Amino acid sequence: MFLSFGTNVATLTQDESVTFNAILTDPDGVADIVGGTLRSADESLEFGVFVAAGQPGAYSLSLSWAQLHQTQPIEFDGGESPRGFRAVFFDQGGLTATDDLTLELVCAGGAACAGTCTDLALDGLNCGFCGRTCDSGQDACEAGGCGPALSRCINFDEGLDTCTAACQSFGETCAENACGAGITTRTFNNLMWCEDDLNGVNKIMACDEPQMWNVGARAIKCCCTDTK
For residue 112, name the pLDDT band (cuts at 50, 70, 90): very high
DSSP one-letter string for 61-107:
EEEEHHHHHHHS---B-SSEEEEEEEEEEEETTS-EEEEEEEEEEE-
pLDDT beyond 80 at 215:
no
**What is the count of structural domains for the chain?**
2
CA atoms within 13 A on the CB side of 134: 26
Alpha helices in the chain (DSSP H): 65-71, 163-169, 191-195
The pTM of this model reads: 0.80
Question: What per-residue confidence (pLDDT) applies to 54?
Answer: 85
One domain for residues 29 and 91: yes
Cα angle, residue 182 at apex, residues 177 and 183 outer, rounded to 5°: 55
Dist. CA 137–CA 1, nearest whole Å: 55
Q: Is residue 133 part of a domain?
A: no
User: Is position 103 within any domain?
Assistant: yes
Question: What range does the domain containing 206 cover?
Answer: 151-226
**If pLDDT is split at 50, 70 and 90, which confidence band does 188 have?**
very high
| Residue 125, in any domain of the structure | no
**pLDDT of 79:** 86
Residues 90 and 188 in one domain: no
Determine contact, residues 50/23, Cβ cutoff 8 Å.
Answer: no
Domain boundary among 57, 91, 108: 108
Listed residues 57, 92, 108: the one ending a domain:
108
User: Which CATH number do you get for residue 28?
Assistant: 2.60.40.10
pLDDT at residue number 78: 85
pLDDT tens for residues 153-164?
999 999 999 999
48 in any annotated domain? yes
* Weakest-pLDDT range from 62-71, 108-117, 136-145: 136-145
The alpha carbon of residue 177 and the mean position of all alpha carbons in its chain are separated, in whole angstroms, by 31
Mean pLDDT of 118-141: 94
Any domain includes 184? yes
Give the pLDDT score at 216: 78
The answer to whether residue 126 sits within a structural domain is no
Flag whether 53 is in a domain: yes
> How does the average pLDDT of the chain come out, rounded?
95
| Residue 51 scores a pLDDT above 80 | yes
17 found inside a domain = yes
